[in-house]
């Protein structure tokens, strides 16, 4: 009896998600296969032949992957350090590191515009110390989008990595060293494989977040479209909901694919993770 009633606790959440998420998604996906009342793949065929769209798709993928990669590189040392300090310092550092998530992405993006703009702080500084002669063109490029996204998503990877690093038995690292491993060897053969669960979750969060981000690329990317700004443009400016639905479906499929691939890589590195 108890076992059966306990499932009732799931009901409100499940109902909510079904009505407001599952059904709309299925309807959206379903609608993409109908063109003026008849079933067809035409919408998709059209888009995969469109060089402009493929360009946007590839840029978005590249931006997301680079962002994920940079987040891992920057996040790992930070997470490792935070996982080793005392409880009070840890709480403080954790708060500091999730701070970007607590500020509005509009505010954050405008701050970056001030920093990396043509007459921005960064260019002025570099010009004044004579490192460059012409102002750098960073704003309104994929690089600007990457900078903004890294700033936004770095906390996610730090938090998930702290989770696994905190639980890692210190003796395992010492054991590896006593068997002859260098610091680098310990990292590659023990720390990295054992961090895989956190690394995968963190990477997926960052990737999916970057892939679907709207505000940051819209403000920092300028004319450089990414897939979500493209979708927005189709839906609202051009009022082409059919195209928007197709783009949305493509986004969902790619997100799923990348998630699966990342899981596969993780399994290769640490089959027990």
Partner 1 sequence: MALFTLENISVAYNKQNILQDFNLEIEEGKFVSLLGPSGCGKTTTLRLIAGFLESNNGKFLYKGKDYTKVPVNKRNFGFVFQNYALFPHLTIFDNVAFGLRLRKASKSEIEKRVASVLEIVNLRGFEKRYPKELSGGQRQRVAIARALVIEPDLLLFDEPLSNLDANLRENMRIEIRRIQQELGITTVYVSHDQEECFAISDQVAIMNKGIIEQLSDPATIYNYPKTKFVADFIGFKNFIDFEDQTIHENEIELTKSGYTFIVQKNKENSDTDKKVGAIRPDNLVIRPIQGPVTSTKNALPGKVKIRTYLGRSYQYIVETPIGDFTVNQEMLVPYQVGEEIILEFPANNMVLVK
Identity of the residue, 5 or 178, whose beta carbon is nearer to partner 1 in the bound complex: 178
Burial class (CB in 10 A: 0-12, 13-18, 19+), 65: middle
Give 195's Cβ-side CA count (13 Å radius): 26
- Asked whether 232 and 214 are in contact (CB, 8 A), the reply is yes
Identity of the residue, 176 or 254, whose beta carbon is nearer to partner 1 in the bound complex: 176
Q: How far is the CB of 131 from partner 1 (least distance, A)?
A: 40
Residue listed under structure tokens 């990669």: 69
Q: How far is the CB of 261 from partner 1 (least distance, A)?
A: 20
The conformation of residue 10, written as its DSSP 8-state character, comes to G
Q: How far is the CB of 117 from partner 1 (least distance, A)?
A: 47
Q: How far is the CB of 195 from partner 1 (least distance, A)?
A: 10
Identity of the residue, 2 or 272, whose beta carbon is nearer to partner 1 in the bound complex: 272
CA distance 113 to 222: 11
Identity of the residue, 135 or 193, whose beta carbon is nearer to partner 1 in the bound complex: 193
Identity of the residue, 43 or 202, whose beta carbon is nearer to partner 1 in the bound complex: 202
CA distance 217 to 56: 12
Q: How far is the CB of 267 from partner 1 (least distance, A)?
A: 11
Burial 221-253 (b: 16+ CB within 10 A, else e): beebbbbbbbbebbbeeeeeeebbbbbbbbbee
Q: How far is the CB of 259 from partner 1 (least distance, A)?
A: 21
Identity of the residue, 13 or 180, whose beta carbon is nearer to partner 1 in the bound complex: 180
Q: How many angstroms from the chain centroid is the CA of residue 215?
A: 14
Q: What does the chain come to in residues?
A: 273
Residue ranges in contact with partner 1 by CB under 8 A: 169, 171-172, 174-182, 185, 189-190, 193-194, 270-273
Rounded to whole angstroms, what are the CA distances from 213 to 30, 99, 141, 238, 252?
24, 18, 15, 20, 13
Three-class secondary structure of residue 154 per DSSP: helix
Q: How far is the CB of 160 from partner 1 (least distance, A)?
A: 18
CA distance 14 to 21: 10
Identity of the residue, 26 or 175, whose beta carbon is nearer to partner 1 in the bound complex: 175
Identity of the residue, 100 or 193, whose beta carbon is nearer to partner 1 in the bound complex: 193
Q: How far is the CB of 264 from partner 1 (least distance, A)?
A: 16
């Amino acid at each position: 009896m108890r076992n059966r009633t306990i499932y009732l606790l799931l009901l409100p959440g499940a109902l909510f998600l079904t009505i407001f998420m599952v059904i709309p998604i299925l309807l959206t996906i379903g609608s993409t296969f109908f063109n003026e009342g008849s079933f067809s793949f035409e919408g998709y065929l059209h888009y995969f032949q469109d060089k402009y769209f493929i360009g946007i798709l590839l840029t978005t993928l590249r931006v997301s992957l680079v962002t994920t990669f940079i987040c891992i590189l920057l996040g790992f040392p930070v997470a490792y350090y935070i996982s080793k300090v005392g409880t009070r310092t840890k709480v403080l550092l954790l708060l500091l590191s999730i701070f970007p998530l607590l500020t509005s992405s509009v505010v954050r993006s405008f701050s970056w515009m001030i920093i990396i703009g043509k007459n921005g702080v960064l260019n002025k500084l570099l010009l004044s110390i004579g490192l460059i002669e012409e102002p750098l063109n960073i704003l309104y490029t994929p690089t600007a989008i990457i900078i903004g996204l890294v700033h936004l998503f770095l906390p996610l990877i730090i938090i998930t990595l702290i989770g696994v690093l905190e639980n890692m038995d210190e003796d395992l690292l010492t054991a590896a060293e006593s068997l002859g491993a260098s610091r680098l060897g310990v990292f590659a053969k023990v720390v990295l494989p054992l961090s895989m669960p956190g690394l995968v979750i963190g990477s997926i969060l960052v990737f999916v977040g970057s892939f679907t981000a709207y505000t940051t690329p819209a403000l920092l990317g300028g004319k450089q479209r990414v897939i979500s700004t493209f979708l927005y443009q189709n839906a609202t400016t051009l009022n082409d909901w059919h195209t928007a639905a197709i783009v949305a479906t493509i986004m969902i499929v790619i997100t799923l694919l990348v998630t699966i691939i990342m899981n596969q890589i993780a399994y290769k590195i640490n089959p027990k993770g």
